[in-house]
């Protein structure tokens, strides 16, 4: 295809994008030169992708009109009617050419094979993909290891190994990878797995889910025990009470949203190639069940663009479905797979995942209330349409190109040939949703009015739902004061100045009952080959019983799994209350000891996200009793905050508070700018730095040489051999921090993952 054709084709085309879409494209998608300067525009990007993916047709037809197909693929993206998953947008037509988002790798019960998988994980993460694992084949903790006459450490310990490796590997040189860790509910270590993320700083590079079996659900219904099995021998291992285990899952999910649950037997009932193998795991967001070594490429249709004259524009939607399925099938052939085995298995089954975004936008355009019976009915009708038409296109492709190679071993063997073992998936649409200005997946509107910090200039601006803004101005109730109040409240349900019929339709996530969230997920799942990525949002006041009800309802309604999040649960530090006996031992009045006129101590240089921080620790004859902090440059809010921390620590120390208690309170506190120091490890915040300095002081006092006379070491001043300090910003240390570490926006739980509506960051992608 000539350069002139490209120039003529693009000469009068300009995509209408919002500023935040442009920011995201410039930051993550547009091609850059070696100096980091953007050297393509959005039109160039979509042309690059369209032209590259169209080339696959040559494999099946020497006379294929690649120019015409390039135009077809380009136009569907130009109009923002359909967008493929991020790796395809980022890498198609470039050197990397890795186009898939989802991978599943096996974890076998062998040290050699475990570390083979770890190596493959590194290759996938480096290429920009996310990985899913089932750790269910690993023998339980303290089970025998015949080769060494020792005992095993169990699956959770190996999850920490994979987590640490992920921490060290940046995806495509930009960010950490994402993992899904799954364990069957009948594994002997299931209780340890359920609480493995009890602390918010544990397994940060994993989402975790329990694989629930039918045996377990039957035992739960009868409040009976169920069997555990040792995966090494497949022998009976013992019993647990189903209700006790279920309550533990519910309790942890109520506390911080994890683990999620997947109904593994139900997923395998829909496994299109059961003779090839059982499905044991999903991708990081849970919407794509895959066999070991399978990958899948995804894409989403923007439903908000398919409303015409008060109804769904079924004719144009059908045409777009056809283009999208053709596009995604071509991606399989144009993909540069990171591992040969993945190429082999993926091309044998040719799974694709066509989904939707902008569902809430469509409902608003139609005046239908999200969660109403009308919305649920339309959801089923619409997804039936997408499913039926996409399968029809896949069957047409099979006539022209042949069925997927494992077709004769599939559930389709006695029917029409089909090109793809699976065709539909509803995946998260974080960044592509921002590019398309579409509501996420099948989620309700997150907020009608909110402030967004601009990715490039850090200025705040209002983001107002366009349909709401238009109505507000037409009906005469728009005002800046009202927008401020809505932004603060997060919902319009209590604003009497807004007409009732508008309040009824413009609902946000927390206006919708958890049960209606589940019903919507189930409505789409009914006609989806794979699974549906969605979060069931709870208010902070929700009880454990509320979470339990949603889990049971999701099972009864036919969902493949469910993810829940109780508002604010990840940002709350659970405080332990001392026992009455301990309270009685405390004096009624605590007096701090007097500060000496002259004291000795040491000053540590700690590097934080806010800059160089000097922490001075002084002691008297009774031990450490004082902490001072100072930044390399004086002034500012942060200096005053850390001074306050130092004063309070000093008061606590002089009042007899145990130093280790203070350290435990400070360590682990997170801010939006953690850094990775060479010798220190991760410094999560200024408070974390103070806690680690106190800990380091104690450790240094245990050295043989006197603390006051030792030389400065690299452990005290973390510098490299060239006397330069180097650090790397960590973009995946989410934990309890509610802010995006890339743009500072508040993070939300949506589409089964932690996402940022500011810059499109997703922990799972």
- In angstroms, how far is CA 624 from the centroid of its own chain? 42
Whether 45 contacts 31, CB under 8 Å: yes
Name the residue among 258, 259, 442 with its Cα closest to residue 363.
442
For residue 283, indicate whether it is catalytic.
yes
* Residue of 102, 179, 204, 285 marked active site: 285
> For 544-589, where are the alpha helices, taking DSSP H only?
544-556, 580-585
Tell me the backbone φ, ψ of residue 453, rounded to 5 degrees.
-80, 125
Q: Decide if 570 contacts 200 (C-beta within 8 A).
A: yes
Q: Indicate the Cα dihedral angle 46, 50, 52, 53, nearest 10°.
A: 130
Contact by Cβ (8 Å): 613, 606: yes
- Type and span of the H or E element at 171: strand 170-171
Q: What distance in Å separates the CA atoms of residue 580 and residue 13, rounded to the nearest whole number?
A: 73
Collapsing DSSP states into helix, strand and coil, what is residue 338? coil
CA–CA dist 298, 82 (Å, integer): 11
Provide the token pair at 439: 């509501």
Out of 43, 287, 443, 751, pick the active-site residue.
287
CA distances from 545 to 218, 371, 548, 708, 731 (A): 19, 21, 5, 57, 35
Beta 206-212 vs 260-263: how paired, if at all? parallel
- Residue of 200, 204, 283, 465 marked active site: 283
Those residues whose C-beta lies under 8 Å from the C-beta of residue 104, and which sit 6 or more positions away, are 131, 132, 133, 280, 281, 282, 283, 290, 291, 292, 293, 294, 295
Q: Which is nearest to 617 in space by CA: 600, 633, 634, 592?
A: 600
Place of tokens 């084709």: 9
Give the 3-state secondary structure percentages of the chain, helix then strand then coil, rounded to 5: 40, 20, 40
Residue 564 burial (C-beta neighbours within 10 Å; 0-12, 13-18, 19+) = buried
What is the C-alpha separation between 316 and 81, in angstroms, rounded? 10
In the structure encoding, which two tokens stand for residue 26, read together?
């410039």
287 is catalytic: yes
Sign of CA dihedral 241, 242, 243, 249: positive
Alpha-helix residue ranges (DSSP H) falling in 402-532 = 430-436, 466-474, 480-489, 500-505, 514-525
Is there a catalytic annotation at residue 256?
A: no
What is the Cα–Cα distance from 750 to 427, expressed in whole angstroms? 11
- What amino acid positions are annotated as catalytic residues? 283, 285, 287
């Amino acid at each position: 295809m000539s350069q002139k054709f490209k120039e003529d084709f693009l000469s009068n085309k300009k995509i209408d994008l919002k500023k935040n879409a442009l920011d995201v494209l410039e930051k993550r998608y547009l091609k850059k030169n070696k100096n980091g300067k953007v050297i393509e525009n959005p039109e160039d990007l979509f042309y690059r992708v369209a032209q590259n993916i169209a080339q696959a047709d040559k494999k099946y037809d020497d006379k294929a009109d690649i120019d015409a197909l390039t135009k077809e693929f380009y136009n569907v993206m130009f109009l923002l009617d359909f967008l493929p998953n991020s790796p395809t947008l980022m890498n198609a037509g470039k050197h990397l050419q890795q186009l898939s988002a989802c991978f599943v790798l096996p974890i076998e019960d062998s040290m050699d094979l475990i570390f083979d998988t770890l190596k493959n994980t590194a290759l996938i993460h480096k290429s920009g993909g996310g990985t899913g694992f089932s750790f269910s084949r690993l023998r339980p903790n303290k089970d025998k290891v015949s080769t060494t006459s020792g005992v095993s450490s169990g699956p959770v310990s190996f999850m920490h190994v994979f987590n640490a490796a992920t921490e060290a590997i940046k995806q495509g040189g930009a960010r950490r990878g994402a993992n899904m860790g799954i364990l069957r509910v009948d594994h002997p270590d299931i209780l340890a797995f359920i609480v493995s993320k009890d602390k918010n700083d544990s397994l940060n590079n994993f989402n975790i889910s329990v694989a629930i079996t039918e045996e377990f659900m039957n035992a739960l219904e009868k409040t009976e025990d169920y069997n555990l099995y040792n995966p090494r021998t497949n022998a009976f291992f013992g019993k647990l009470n189903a209700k006790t285990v279920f309550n533990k899952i519910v309790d942890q999910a109520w506390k911080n949203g994890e683990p999620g649950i997947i109904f593994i037997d139900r997923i395998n009932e829909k496994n299109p190639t059961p003779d090839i193998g059982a499905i044991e795991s999903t991708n990081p967001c849970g919407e794509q069940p895959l066999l070991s070594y399978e990958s899948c490429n995804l894409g989403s249709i923007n439903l908000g663009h398919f409303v015409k004259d008060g109804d769904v524009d079924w004719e144009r939607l059908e045409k777009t479905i056809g283009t999208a399925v053709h596009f995604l099938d071509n991606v399989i052939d144009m993909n540069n797979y990171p591992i040969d085995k993945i190429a082999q298995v993926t091309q044998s089954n040719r799974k694709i995942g066509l989904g939707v975004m902008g569902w809430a936008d469509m409902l608003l355009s139609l005046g239908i209330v999200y969660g109403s019976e009308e919305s649920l009915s339309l959801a089923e009708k619409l997804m039936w349409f997408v499913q039926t038409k996409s399968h029809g296109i896949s069957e047409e492709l099979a006539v022209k190109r042949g069925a997927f190679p494992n077709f004769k071993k599939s559930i389709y063997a006695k029917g029409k040939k089909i090109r793809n073992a699976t065709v539909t998936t509803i995946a998260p649409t974080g960044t592509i949703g921002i590019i398309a200005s579409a509501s996420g997946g099948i989620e309700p509107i997150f907020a009608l009015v909110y402030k967004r910090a601009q990715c490039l200039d850090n200025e705040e601006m209002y983001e107002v739902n366009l349909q709401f803004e238009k109505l507000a101005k037409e009906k005469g109730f728009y005002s800046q004061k009202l927008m401020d109040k809505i932004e603060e409240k997060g919902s319009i349900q209590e604003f009497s100045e807004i007409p009732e019929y508008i309040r009824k339709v413009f609902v946000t996530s927390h206006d919708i009952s958890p049960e209606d969230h589940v019903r919507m997920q189930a409505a789409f799942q009914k006609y989806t080959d794979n699974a549906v990525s969605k979060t069931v949002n709870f208010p902070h006041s929700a009880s454990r019983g509320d979470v339990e009800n949603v889990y049971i309802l999701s099972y009864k309604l036919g969902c493949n799994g469910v993810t829940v999040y109780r508002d604010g649960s990840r940002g709350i530090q659970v405080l332990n209350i001392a026992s009455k006996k301990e309270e009685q031992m405390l004096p009624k009045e605590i007096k701090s000891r007097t500060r000496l006129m002259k004291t000795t101590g040491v000053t540590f240089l700690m590097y934080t996200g806010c800059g160089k921080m000097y922490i001075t620790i002084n002691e008297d004859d009774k031990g450490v009793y004082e902490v001072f902090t100072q930044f390399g440059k004086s002034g500012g809010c942060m200096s005053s905050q850390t001074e306050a921390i130092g004063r309070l620590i000093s008061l606590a120390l002089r009042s007899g508070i145990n130093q280790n208690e203070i350290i435990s309170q400070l360590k682990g506190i997170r801010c939006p700018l953690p850094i990775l120091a060479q010798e220190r490890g991760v410094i999560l915040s200024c408070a974390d730095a103070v806690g680690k300095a106190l800990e380091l002081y104690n450790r240094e006092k245990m050295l043989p040489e006197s603390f006051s006379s030792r030389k400065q070491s690299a452990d005290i001043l973390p510098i490299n051999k060239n006397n330069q300090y180097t650090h790397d910003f960590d973009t995946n240390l989410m934990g309890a921090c509610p802010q995006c570490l890339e743009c500072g926006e508040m993070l939300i739980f949506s589409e089964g993952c932690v996402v940022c509506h500011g810059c499109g960051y997703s922990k799972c992608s």
